């Protein structure tokens, strides 16, 4: 028992923090919200070089092996710096695809590139696939243009994607249970889980219609289960379950980072801002409110780390609900203690303020997490 | 003690209900914090005014119906129950008009109020300045005497509606250097399109320009647009602030309607028993707020003034409003993330409640000091 | 519309307040907790002379007619002064019995004094009954000794009781739904509602076993549905429903009074008590906490008054839950801001502190009230 | 980073579990705040001590097992999971003993600790005085030098366990008139049955004499019962207070067991969906508190000291404990009124949490000032 980050882990977290602090992530987030993804993708490249996106990809596909604890450190940094983009979704897609390629042919049937959308062949060969299937090929493909997939069968294609996720070269998004696929317009791969029992995995041809989120750096798409049927079988549903767990974990870590950023900025503000002749931070009501924010965050983070160690669904649910609520507590306090300026989009604070509630509800609402914890969900 | 409106009020209520049923737009107007929505809401004000429903509590000569506070409350209940649009004129009607009735001249009332009632002139408030948020008395914008009027210079901020409004009102320091900061302030009205005025809209959290910064550079204001005596602005404004924080800032009808919508949402989303208690609390809170307001209105009708208990009112509705909207978002589950849903704008709006019109921290200080008699001064 | 107490009502409340302030109610409450009821009964006599116990009794039985608003003023005063005893229960019993004597013979069959416990005759004559049935008669009567009731039939007996309630001469308690009958050892009449559909009303022979309450001035009894069957029929269940409504209303008013007392005593304490060289009441955290207590009470009281005006079950449920929670909010703040001294039974504060939670749950728990408000209970 | 106890700890845990399964009384002991219960709990301490389970973290010569903090945590988890009795010796074991290990003499440890471990001497704490609750430095009770020792005079209050305990420890002012109130205090141990000591039990809310007032009139204490140097008492005590507020005041095992009991109560009362979220929060809170403590213990094991973060710990468990018990009472419905139910005593006990060992108001000040760096001084 040593429930402490080791030196390497602390270094990793510190490195990411410095990297992102130097990278002007607020500008990237604002540009992303305007539909300009260049700065954001540049950020992703730097994070990929630091190894963040390899943390959910097995070594066989150029990943770091699956390292959930390190992943939570990465996502806490992403949250702390308001990094835009479908990062959680790319992790979830990576977990899903690697589960699929590991599953046997009884569990998952892959598209073999030679049949139409309904006909599924056996899983492809065991070795690494060509990996060279251009993403453009599949995105262009509708049900009537299946010939474009001849460059690789489904399993090989999945393997190729995994390498590209690990290198930060591809962004993915995922739609499950009729929910939203985040940033499907910019994602290189849009996956849609469909079918009565969630056993179909589609490569969507189109991002579908968009809806705005409270966080303008997030755009919510509803791609249809159409395009190419990448895989089918009970292994898809099982893989989605694992993907959800990782998605919830990464979101919880991101929420802790968002909460920390909000707390730090608010502490900084109330130390400087003066009203009635004194620093706002000297009022006891202000102090106590910020003490409660710290309390919420300090008791959320250990839950996130423990969930990463066990990957147990109840542990993950505990981490998700607690981190999400802590971020919202931080947001409410930050808004209140900044006064009117905090209510504007001009202040960078808004980049975090608007993220707290979406992260609380994405990848497992508090209600669904609590239901799982008491065993009714 | 009774809770039965008299026959006159009920008749008035019935008339309002019938008019609203015939006139309220079937689809919601676009947000009033957008250019398009502002215009649509201005048109709605004109439609209200055409049948004398825009300022029911004003005297008839100014476009009102001389409704007493009970009829005003009844009107508001019907107004929100009908799902009628938000009031783009509220700064003028709720903040400036009471000041003009109390402190303005006959000429000012005749000139300013009718176009306000018809939505022809929409007013922005211009209280805050960058360095004086909660601490209003520390204002620094200046009003300098000139021939036949005053020259305003300085900066105002958090001027709600100013992005698209026509005119504004606020306090300016006309006699600097007096021993207390509340002294030497003058209450003025000015044109947002006058030479020397620069309006810089500020986006609120959802990006809509709900307020603006105003940069004033020797903006001429004629003497006729001073309210009350020069230098007496603080006293004049405080009667407005008392009004703002009192019974009329948020009418109970608004929350009764919201609570009913919440209960309907709960019903239509499967009556989740884990959320039932919070739905009950929303229904209770709306009723409690209505009753608290009725009690205040009854005291008011009996000749009392609204004092520090308006701080209770402010804290209650602002925290109630957030809780109600967060319950709605929780019922929506992952759908709640959509910023374009019917509950989304209400939620964003509610978040500002505990901050503006006197932060809830200050309101609680006032409650503790003035209503409970706890020692003043340390915070 | 005039949602204000009139001068007479304000006078009534003020009179009760002065009367109780002069009567050393804390000593009466402490004595009551020790099982010495003399001071408490003396208090009841004074309250009865002021007319409090006539407020739930129709004029035909020497009452003031039913005046629920005035009743809430009385019970707020009882709460504010921690008056001990089964006051709510006596009100509920009065409402129940007057409903029964008003119900027709189709709805309620009364014990006619000549039959055994199972045989019920018609209701008695319409005029005022003898009223002289000694309470001792019925309390002594078991199923085998029904002859003791020959002095009056059930309806006449009920009428006699109502007069005695109005005059403060008799205390009653009531057991419904297998709950507790408060202070059944001291009550002159112990009623038990029983039967599958709650259509039987028993005059219990014995108070039954006692259990302690968190408030030592309350003792919880479980009398058996045995002794004499006073009345039976659907009118009993309907009368119990009305009695419950009045019980909840009176309890809500009492809770507001308890909350007010706690707030007043705590405000007084923090103005005097000094720590770190200043009055405790000058700390902003203390101020804000007490502001929240005032807020809770000021928004609860109008609900109580409105419920009294309408006697609507939903209005009463709203009043009950809000007043009960407000009293508990006041208790928590009072305990915290008094520090250790507040945690002792020595300080009179404890008389109110220990009442808050029982009143919150008695005559309708918050859960049952909220369920009724949203229409599922 | 890992959450797996080493084999030695697991073996230790298994041994504790087996012992507890064989020895924990099947029926709960009477409340330790009664004379009868105090005696029963004292006997239980002796039973624990007989097999060296009363002070597992102490060195073996004093009756312990030299358990490190991880084994101590494992023991506590097993202890509460087994439903074992509350610890009547906790003042001595958790507050006095750490002070003696840090500041006592070899002679003092040899004399004081073994009878403490065996429950033969039960210790009361004597910190507070009537005029110094949260403001401990303002103590006024005196220690006056006399031949071979000190004479204690003055009044102590909120002395927990003192109604039935044997001895007590606390701070006394030995050098009055120094410029700062923290100076000139001396840490002493004294006998509650010595001449000059009057113990007046104080009933807590449920009437049980959980603490007492101590009146001291020239009570002689020999020099051998001074801990640390005379005049250095504040420094000596602060190390104890740090310990009290740190990791050992409330062990996570206690709350893990309570949360499991709450979940079982929820299950056995029909799984009311309106209360499910609060049951989930109790389970989450117990786990979060366990993990927070593990993190602190890991830092401690790695050589760090426990600082202001112990204030986070204190606020968390004290508010958690009340919420957990109030959820239980809500599940019990009207039955919750009974003061003799299994949850009742826990609830009354929990209510004191935010007040004692430094009020939560002071803890939040400390969190804000020391952990967040907000300006000190104004409150």
Lowest mean pLDDT among A148-157, B130-139, B193-202, D255-264: A148-157
Cα dihedral across residues C330, C333, C336, C337: positive or negative: negative
B329 to chain A: which residues are within 8 Å by CB? Answer: 357, 361
A136/A193: higher pLDDT: A193
Q: How far is CA C182 from CA A207, B27, C213, in A?
A: 67, 57, 10
CA distance D97 to D101: 6
**DSSP letters along B202-266, please?**
E-BTTS---EEEEEEEEEEEEGGGEESSTTBHHHHHHHHHHHHHTTSSS-HHHHHHHHHHHHHHH
Interface test with A, best of B203, B337, B366, B374 (most A CBs within 10 A): B337
> What are the pLDDT digits (tens) for C184-230?
999 999 999 999 999 999 999 899 999 999 999 999 999 999 988 99
The mean pLDDT of C62-79, rounded to a whole number, is: 96
Q: Mean pLDDT over residues B93-106, rounded?
A: 93
Respond yes or no: is residue B319 known to be catalytic: no
The answer to whether the Cα torsion of A34, A39, A41, A47 is positive or negative is negative
pLDDT tier at C88 (50, 70, 90 boundaries)? very high
Segment among A311-315, C72-76, D132-136 with least mean pLDDT: D132-136
Q: How confident is the model at residue A275 (pLDDT cuts 50, 70, 90)?
A: confident
List chain D residues with CB under 8 Å of B276.
274
Residues (pLDDT < 70) of chain D are: 133-134, 240-248, 377-379
Cα C295 from Cα A352, distance rounded (Å):
32
> How confident is residue B300, by pLDDT bands cut at 50, 70 and 90?
confident
Q: Is D315 close to A291, i.e. CB distance below 8 A?
A: yes
pLDDT, tens only, A12-66: 999 999 999 999 999 999 999 999 999 999 999 999 999 999 999 999 999 999 9
- The answer to whether residue A126 neighbours chain B at the CB level (below 8 Å) is no
Torsion-angle region of residue A118: left (phi > 0), alpha (psi -120 to 50) or beta?
A: alpha
Which residues on neighbouring strands pair with residue B191, listed in sequence order?
B167
> What's the pLDDT score for residue C130?
33
Per-residue pLDDT, A149: 38
What percent of chain C shows pLDDT beyond 70? Answer: 89
Looking at residue A152, its pLDDT comes to 57
**How far is A245 from B340, CA to CA, in rounded Å?**
29
pLDDT of residue C84: 97
Please tell me the predicted confidence (pLDDT) of residue B239: 73
Phi/psi of residue B187, nearest 5 degrees: -95, 120
Residue B276 has its nearest CB partner, among D274, D378, D379, at D274
pLDDT score for B18 = 98
CA distance linking residue D115 with residue D282, whole number of Å: 38
Out of D281, D289, D295, closest to residue A4 by CB: D295
Pick from B163, B361, B364 the residue to mutate for testing the A interface (most A CBs within 10 Å). B361
Classify the phi-psi angles of B151: left when phi > 0, otherwise alpha if psi is within -120 to 50, otherwise beta.
beta
Band (B342; pLDDT cuts 50, 70, 90): confident
| Backbone phi, psi, residue C274, to 5° | -115, 140
Task: State the nearest Cα–Cα gap between B3 and chain C, in angstroms.
Answer: 5
Q: How confident is the model at residue B242 (pLDDT cuts 50, 70, 90)?
A: low
Binding-face residues of C in 153-182 toward D, CB within 8 A = 179-180
Residues of D with CB below 8 A from B273's CB? Answer: 272-274
Chains that touch A (3 or more CB pairs under 8 A): B, C, D
Residue of D244, D326, D337, D369 marked catalytic: D244
Q: How far is CA A292 from CA A32, A58, A251, D171, D290, in A?
A: 32, 39, 22, 32, 19
Interface test mutation site (partner B, options A29, A89, A275, A371, max chain B beta carbons within 10 A)? A275
The pLDDT value recorded for residue D50 is 98
Euclidean distance between CA atoms B246 and A359, whole angstroms = 37
Mean pLDDT in residue range C342-348: 95
**Residues on chain D touching B374 (C-beta within 8 angstroms):** none
Q: What residues of chain B, 268 to 307, have a C-beta less than 8 Å from chain D?
A: 272-274, 276-277
Cβ pair D276:B276 closer than 8 A: no
More confident residue, B169 or D138: B169
Best to test chain B binding among D266, D270, D273 (most B CBs inside 10 Å): D273
Residue B358 pLDDT grade (very low, low, confident, very high; cuts 50, 70, 90)? confident
| pLDDT at C254 > cutoff 90 | yes
Taking the Cβ of residue A300 and every Cβ of chain D, the question of whether any pair is shorter than 8 Å is answered with: yes
Establish if D274 touches chain A: CB-CB under 8 angstroms.
no
Asked if residue A246 has pLDDT above 70, the reply is yes
pLDDT above 90 for C97: yes
* B273 closest CB neighbour out of D274, D378, D379: D274
Tally of CB atoms within 10 A around D330: 18
**Contacts of residue A284 in chain C, CB cutoff 8 Å?**
283-285
Q: What is the CA radius of gyration of chain D?
A: 21
What value does the mean pLDDT take over residues C233-248? 97
CA A344 to chain centre: 26
Rounded to whole angstroms, how far apart are CA atoms A345 and A144?
A: 45
In this structure, of A127-131, A239-243, B166-170, B221-225, the range with the lowest mean pLDDT score is A127-131
For residue C292, the tally of other CB atoms under 10 A from its CB is: 19
Answer yes or no: is pLDDT of B82 > 90: yes
Q: Taking CB atoms and an 8 Å cutoff, what residues of chain C touch D135? A: 275-276
Is D378 an 8 Å CB contact of chain B? Answer: yes
The pLDDT value recorded for residue B195 is 97
For residue B165, how far is the Cα from the chain centroid?
Answer: 15
CA dihedral of A334, A336, A339, A345, whole degrees rounded to 10: 50
Q: With beta carbons less than 8 A apart as the criterion, state whether A235 and A100 touch.
A: yes
Distance CA C186, CA A44 (A): 78
For residues D377 and A284, the answer to whether their CB atoms sit within 8 Å is no
Taking contacts as CB-CB distances below 8 angstroms, the residues of chain A near C284 are 283-285
Got the DSSP string for C70-118? HHHHHHHHHHHTT--SSHHHHHHHHHHHHHHHHS-TTT-EE--SSS-TT
Strands (E), chain D: 123-126, 142-146, 149-160, 167-173, 185-191, 197-202, 211-222, 226-227
Neighbours of chain B (3+ CB pairs under 8 A): A, C, D
Predicted model pTM: 0.93
Nearest-CA distance from D352 to chain C in Å?
Answer: 7
* Burial tier of D120 (Cβ tally within 10 Å: 0-12, 13-18, 19+): middle
Q: What is the pLDDT of residue B240?
A: 61
Q: Is C191 helix (H, G, I), strand (E, B) or coil?
A: strand
Q: Do B334 and A180 touch (CB under 8 A)?
A: yes
| Residue C321 contacts B where some CB pair is shorter than 8 Å | yes
| pLDDT greater than 90 at residue A99 | yes
Q: What residues in A contact B134, CB-CB < 8 Å? A: 275-276, 339
pLDDT, residue C143, reads 34
- Residues of chain C with pLDDT > 90, as a percent, come to 82
Q: Please report which helix (H) or strand (E) contains residue A189, including its range.
A: strand A189-194
**Residues in CB range of A311: below 8 A, 6 or more apart:** A68, A245, A249
Does position C118 have pLDDT exceeding 80, yes or no?
Answer: no
DSSP A321-337: HHHHHHHHHHHHHHHHH
**pLDDT surpasses 50 at A137:** no
CB distance C276–D379 less than 8 Å?
yes
Query: Percentage of chain B surpassing pLDDT 90?
Result: 85
Other beta carbons less than 10 A from residue B2's beta carbon: 13
The answer to whether the CB atoms of A288 and C285 lie below 8 A apart is: yes
Give the span between the Cα atoms of A46 and B43, in whole angstroms.
52
| pLDDT band at C120; cut points 50, 70, 90 | very low
Yes or no, beta carbons of D367 and A294 under 8 Å apart: yes
Instruction: Say if the Cβ atoms of D133 and C275 lie within 8 Å.
Output: yes
Q: Which residue of chain D comes nearest to C350, CA vs CA?
A: D205
Catalytic residue among B33, B76, B244, B345: B244
The radius of gyration of chain B from alpha carbons, rounded to an integer in Å, stands at: 21
Q: A125: helix, coil or strand?
A: coil
Length of chain C measured in residues: 377
CB pairs under 8 A between A and B: 100
Sign of CA dihedral A56, A60, A63, A66: positive
pLDDT band at residue C126, thresholds of 50, 70 and 90? very low
Contact across the interface for C1 and B312, Cβ inside 8 Å? no
ipTM for the whole complex? 0.94
Domain annotation for chain A: domains and CATH numbers: 7-55+63-86 (no CATH), 89-239 (no CATH), 240-373 (1.20.140.10)
Of D276, D288, D378, the CB nearest to A374: D276
Q: What is the SS3 assignment for A277-320?
A: CEEHHHCHHHHHHHHHHHHHHHHHHHHHHHHHHHCCHHHHHHHH
Q: Which residues of C touch D334 (CB under 8 A)?
A: 179-180, 361-362, 365
Cβ-based contacts of C356 with chain D (< 8 Å):
none
Which residues, 6 or more positions from D132, have their beta carbon under 8 angstroms from its beta carbon? Answer: D138, D139, D140
Give all strands of the β-sheet with A219-221 in edge-to-edge order.
A181-182, A219-221, A210-212
Q: Is D282:D259 a contact under the CB 8 Å cutoff?
A: yes
3-state secondary structure of B125: strand
Please tell me which of the candidates A69, A290, A367 has its beta carbon nearest to residue D368. Answer: A290
The residues facing C153 across adjacent strands are none
How many CA atoms, within 13 angstroms, populate the side-chain half-sphere of residue C309?
16
Per-residue b/e over B69-101, b at no fewer than 16 CB within 10 Å? Answer: bbbbbbbbbbbbebebbbbbbbbbbbbbbbbbe
Q: Where do the H-state alpha helices sit in chain A?
A: 7-21, 25-33, 38-49, 68-80, 87-102, 135-140, 154-166, 234-272, 284-310, 313-338, 349-361, 366-373
Would you say residue A366 has pLDDT above 80? yes
For C100, C123, C125, C155, the CA distances from C106, given in Å and listed in that order, are 11, 9, 15, 14
pLDDT for B341 equals: 82
The gap between the terminal CA atoms of chain D, to the nearest Å, is: 40
- For B377, name the nearest residue in chain A, comparing CA atoms only: A276
Q: Which domains does chain B have, with CATH numbers?
A: 7-88 (no CATH), 123-232 (2.40.110.10), 243-371 (1.20.140.10)
**Average pLDDT across chain A, whole number:** 89
Q: How far apart are CA D20 and CA D82, in angstroms?
A: 7
């Amino acid at each position: 028992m040593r429930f402490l980050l080791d030196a390497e882990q602390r270094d990793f977290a510190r490195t990411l923090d410095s990297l992102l602090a130097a990278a002007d992530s607020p500008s990237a987030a604002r540009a992303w919200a305007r539909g300009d993804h260049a700065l954001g993708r540049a950020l992703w490249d730097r994070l990929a070089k630091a190894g963040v996106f390899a943390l959910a990809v097995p070594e066989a596909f150029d990943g770091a092996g699956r390292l959930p604890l390190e992943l939570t450190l990465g996502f806490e940094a992403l949250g702390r710096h308001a990094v835009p983009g479908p990062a959680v979704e790319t992790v979830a897609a990576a977990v899903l695809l690697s589960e699929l390629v590991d599953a046997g042919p009884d569990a998952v049937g892959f598209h073999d590139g030679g049949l139409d959308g309904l006909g599924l062949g056996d899983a492809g060969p065991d070795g690494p696939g060509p990996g060279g299937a251009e993403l453009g090929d599949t995105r262009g493909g509708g049900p009537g243009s299946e010939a474009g997939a001849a460059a690789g069968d489904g399993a090989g294609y999945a393997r190729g994607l995994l390498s590209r996720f690990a290198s930060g070269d591809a962004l993915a998004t995922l739609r499950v249970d009729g929910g939203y696929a985040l940033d499907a317009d910019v994602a290189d791969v849009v996956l849609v889980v469909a079918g009565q029992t969630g056993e179909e995995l589609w490569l969507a041809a189109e991002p579908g219609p968009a809806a705005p989120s409270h966080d303008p750096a997030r755009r919510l798409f509803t791609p249809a289960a159409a395009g190419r049927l990448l895989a089918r079988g009970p292994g898809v549903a099982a893989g989605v379950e694992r993907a959800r767990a990782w998605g919830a974990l990464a979101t919880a870590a991101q929420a802790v980072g968002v909460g920390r950023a909000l707390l730090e900025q608010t502490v900084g503000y109330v130390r400087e801002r003066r009203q009635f002749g004194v620093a706002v931070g000297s009022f006891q009501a202000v102090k106590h409110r910020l003490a409660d924010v710290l309390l919420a965050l300090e008791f959320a983070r250990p839950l996130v780390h423990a969930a990463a160690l066990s990957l147990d669904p109840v542990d993950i649910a505990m981490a998700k609900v607690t981190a999400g609520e802590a971020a919202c507590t931080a947001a409410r306090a930050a808004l209140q203690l900044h006064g009117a300026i905090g209510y504007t989009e001009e202040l960078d604070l808004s980049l975090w303020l608007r993220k707290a509630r979406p992260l609380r509800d994405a990848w497992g609402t508090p209600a669904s997490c609590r239901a799982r914890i008491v065993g009714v969900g | 003690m009774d809770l039965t409106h008299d026959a006159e009020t009920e008749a008035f209520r019935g008339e309002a209900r019938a008019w609203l049923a015939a006139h309220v737009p079937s689809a919601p107007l676009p947000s009033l914090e957008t250019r398009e929505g502002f215009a649509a809401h201005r048109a709605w004000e004109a439609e209200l005014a055409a049948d004398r429903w825009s300022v029911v509590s004003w005297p008839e000569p100014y476009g009102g119906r001389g409704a007493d506070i009970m009829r005003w409350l009844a009107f508001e209940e019907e107004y929100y129950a009908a799902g009628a649009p938000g009031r783009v004129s509220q700064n003028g009607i709720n903040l400036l008009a009471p000041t003009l009735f109390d402190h303005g001249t006959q000429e000012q009332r005749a000139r300013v109020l009718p176009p306000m009632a018809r939505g022809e002139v929409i007013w922005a408030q211009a209280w805050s300045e960058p360095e004086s948020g909660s601490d209003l008395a520390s204002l620094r914008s200046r009003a300098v005497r000139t021939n036949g009027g005053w020259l305003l210079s300085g900066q105002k901020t958090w001027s709600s509606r100013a992005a698209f409004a026509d005119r504004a009102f606020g306090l300016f320091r006309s006699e600097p250097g007096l021993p207390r900061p509340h002294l030497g302030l003058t209450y003025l009205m000015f044109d947002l399109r006058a030479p020397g005025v620069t309006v810089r809209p500020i986006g609120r959290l959802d990006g809509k320009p709900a307020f603006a910064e105003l940069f004033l550079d020797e903006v001429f204001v004629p003497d006729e647009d001073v309210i009350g005596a020069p230098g007496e602005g603080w006293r004049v404004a405080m009667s407005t602030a008392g009004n703002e924080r009192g019974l009329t800032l948020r009418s109970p009808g608004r929350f009764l309607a919201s609570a009913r919508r919440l209960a309907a949402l709960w019903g239509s989303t499967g009556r989740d028993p884990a959320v039932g208690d919070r739905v009950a609390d929303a229904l209770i809170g709306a009723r409690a707020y209505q009753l608290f307001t009725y009690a205040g209105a009854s005291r008011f009708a009996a000749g009392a003034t609204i004092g520090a208990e308006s701080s209770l009112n402010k804290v209650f509705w602002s925290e109630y409003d957030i809780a109600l909207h967060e319950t709605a978002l929780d019922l929506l589950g992952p759908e709640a993330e959509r910023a374009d849903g019917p509950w989304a704008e209400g939620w964003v709006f509610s978040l500002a409640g505990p901050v503006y019109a006197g932060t809830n921290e200050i309101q609680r200080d006032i409650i503790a000091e003035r209503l409970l008699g706890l020692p003043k001064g340390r915070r």
